[in-house]
Chain A
Amino acid sequence: MSKPLVEIKDLRIDVRVTRKKRLQIVNSASFEIQPGKLVGLIGESGSGKTMLCRSLVGTLGRRGAYIAGGQLTFDGIDLVNASNKEWAEIRGKRIGYIPQSALAGPNPVMTIGAQLGEAISQGQKMAKADIRERAIELLNIVQIRRPEVVLKQYPNELSGGMKQRVMIACAIAQNPQLVVADEPTTGLDVTVQAEIMDLLKRIRDEFNTSIVLISHDLQLINAVCDEIVVMHAGATVEKLPSGEIEDSRHPYTRALYESRIDLVEPRGKLRTIKGQPPAVGAWPTGCRFALRCDFVKPECTSATDVPLLTLSPTRQTACIRHKEIY
């Protein structure tokens, strides 16, 4: 196996709540991203998946969060201790970012052309004609018809799906090695979602770009990604190839997969996960899924540390009872 592009090991992210109090949002995240792979990061709200993705694009500090421990390297560069100068060379250039469609879109007071131009030149001096040529090329890549017209338009003239395509064009303007997509299709229609996912796959294939796709939709991740990383309560609990989700070795992933509705008989008994996910930072000791797990044993809650066990080069699980259960 080639050298991974991104290595995350025992990453811990804290957020300042008050002057003295700190809250752990992520406290043991470990996974790798290989070049040219589409990795799906799945978790419910509060699982820390969004913070993890922010750590990859260097925007943690804006919410008072910071990396409190562990390792995070990108192509051999230590991102934990990266200076602002180093980040400036990475962010937007070597790591692209596609924001959540519902929360952020293109700047409403700039034309599409102006925004794409910014992403292309990144503040460097460039000939106008070159920028325009590249902008049209990018819009062609993201399959926007009549790019010359769209360049002159403002975001409010575009549909939600078109706007998200523009954001993707901005993210890949510098031919980044890694693209981080944080719930890029939340709030978009299913047909648009399918098109955007096809687009992401094409970008991966054509430019050998690694993509991290963050979502709370397991079916989507399973259908689109190469690998699945499952987050639960601030920790990565399982890593597996997407085709093997039915053979998952963690009760949380299984329960999540089995609680999906598309294949269940209409009005049949739906499998539900009982209770609520643990509150951020108020995690129980031992396995954090134990309270909601059907297979819980005393040893699950007594262990102070739940390590990620490696089953094969492509599979890891944090369930200590996986051998007995499955």
Chain B
Amino acid sequence: MNLLEAKNVSVVFNSYGSEIHAVKNVDFILPQGKVVGIVGESGSGKSTFARVLTGLQLPTSGEVYYLGKNIQEGSETYKGELRKAVQMVFQDPYSSLNPRQRIINAVSEAVQQHQTSNKSEAREIAAKLLARMGISQLDANKYPSSLSGGQRQRASVARALAAQPKILVADEPTSAIDQSAQSQLLELFSELIAEGLSVVLVSHDLGVIRYLTDETYVMESGVFVESGSTQQIFKAPKNSYTQKLIASIPGSHL
């Protein structure tokens, strides 16, 4: 059974009377233990679709299934189950952590929600999680504003992992941070993937997609124009848009 599956999903936004079709009738499958990438340019609808998968955005039509169960069908238990199973890492490291909350508190709050009600135990688990993400105890006691973008992103991952999710949806996690921080974060992702975490990775950076994912969906104007195994897509892109994307990688034509 597929871990997460979207069938015929559309998202329509109303903007001053006119309708914007952000996502148009797309199908998507995330198999258990796999990493699936969604590539596309800004405005292609990839972030909106990622939010549909997390449940933050309700689709206008179509269904999302978690382990074969339709999660839109009202039932609170399904929603609760999905909440526990899917976590998200956002693009902007500056707005993904509460500026009025110390890093350690943000993570231990999540640990308390999902793992233990004991406060000091939760703090211990949180500190361990943060240490694993390469954030020292000293930095964990700081507010987000005194950390670098890369550190904040890793703290966000720690908070997401506190829920012990099965699926991590990452929306452009590396695009707003420095290169050395990028490689640290990607290393971390590949470790987590090796441990069995399923990941949906949204990115416009084809290098990141190629490095991490098993399968890739290419999105243009709200539609998946090509999908398949990542290797196949990079070796022999069929769609002209995909070809253009790959040709635009800096240095690819040298």
A binds B: yes
Task: State whether the Cβ of B250 lies closer than 8 Å to any Cβ in chain A.
Answer: yes
With A and B bound together, what is the CA distance between A188 and B211 in angstroms?
A: 21
Task: State whether the Cβ of B149 lies closer than 8 Å to any Cβ in chain A.
Answer: yes
State whether A191 and B179 are in contact (beta carbons under 8 Å apart), knowing that A261-B186, A267-B211 are contacts in the complex: no
> A191-B248, A194-B250 are known contacts; what are 10 more A-B pairs with Cβ within 8 Å?
A190-B245, A193-B248, A217-B250, A219-B207, A219-B249, A223-B254, A262-B206, A262-B251, A266-B230, A277-B178
Contact yes or no, A44 B230, CB < 8 A: no
State whether A190 and B249 are in contact (beta carbons under 8 Å apart), knowing that A261-B207, A262-B207, A270-B211 are contacts in the complex: yes
State whether A259 and B180 are in contact (beta carbons under 8 Å apart), knowing that A45-B148, A270-B190 are contacts in the complex: yes
Contact yes or no, A44 B180, CB < 8 A: yes
Interface residues of A in 203-257 (CB under 8 A from B): 216-220, 222-224, 255-256
Which residue of chain A is the closest to B247 with respect to CB atoms?
A: A194
Task: State whether the Cβ of A276 lies closer than 8 Å to any Cβ in chain B.
Answer: yes
Size of chain A's interface in residues, with CB distance under 8 A? Answer: 36
Report how many A-B pairs have Cβ atoms within 8 Å: 103
Contact yes or no, A216 B183, CB < 8 A: no
Which residue of chain A is the closest to B212 with respect to CB atoms?
A: A267
Contacts of B251 in A (CB 8 A): 219-220, 222-223, 262
Q: How far does the Cβ of A290 sit from chain B's closest Cβ, in whole Å?
A: 15
Give the secondary structure class of A's interface: loop
Size of chain B's interface in residues, with CB distance under 8 A? Answer: 37
Task: State whether the Cβ of A273 lies closer than 8 Å to any Cβ in chain B.
Answer: yes
Give the secondary structure class of B's interface: helix
Contact yes or no, A190 B212, CB < 8 A: no
State whether A256 and B180 are in contact (beta carbons under 8 Å apart), knowing that A266-B210, A267-B190, A270-B186 are contacts in the complex: yes
Residues in A lying within 8 Å of B, measured CB to CB: 44-45, 160, 187-194, 197, 216-220, 222-224, 255-256, 259-262, 264, 266-267, 269-273, 276-277
Partner of A191, one of B193, B230, B245: B245
With A and B bound together, what is the CA distance between A110 and B147 in angstroms?
A: 38
Contact yes or no, B41 A277, CB < 8 A: no
Task: State whether the Cβ of B32 lies closer than 8 Å to any Cβ in chain A.
Answer: no
With A and B bound together, what is the CA distance between A197 and B230 in angstroms?
A: 27
Contacts of A193 in B (CB 8 A): 248, 250
Task: State whether the Cβ of B244 lies closer than 8 Å to any Cβ in chain A.
Answer: yes
State whether A276 and B211 are in contact (beta carbons under 8 Å apart), knowing that A190-B245, A190-B249, A270-B187 are contacts in the complex: no
Contacts of B208 in A (CB 8 A): 261
Considering the complex of A and B, which 7 residue pairs feature the smallest CB-CB distances, nearest first? A189-B41, A223-B251, A259-B183, A262-B207, A194-B248, A44-B178, A273-B180
Q: How far does the Cβ of B205 sit from chain A's closest Cβ, in whole Å?
A: 8
Task: State whether the Cβ of B232 lies closer than 8 Å to any Cβ in chain A.
Answer: no
Question: Can you offer 25 A-B residue contacts whose CB atoms are under 8 A?
Answer: A44-B181, A187-B42, A190-B248, A194-B247, A218-B179, A219-B207, A219-B251, A220-B251, A256-B179, A256-B180, A259-B183, A260-B179, A260-B183, A260-B207, A264-B211, A266-B213, A266-B230, A267-B190, A267-B193, A269-B187, A270-B211, A272-B183, A272-B184, A273-B180, A273-B184
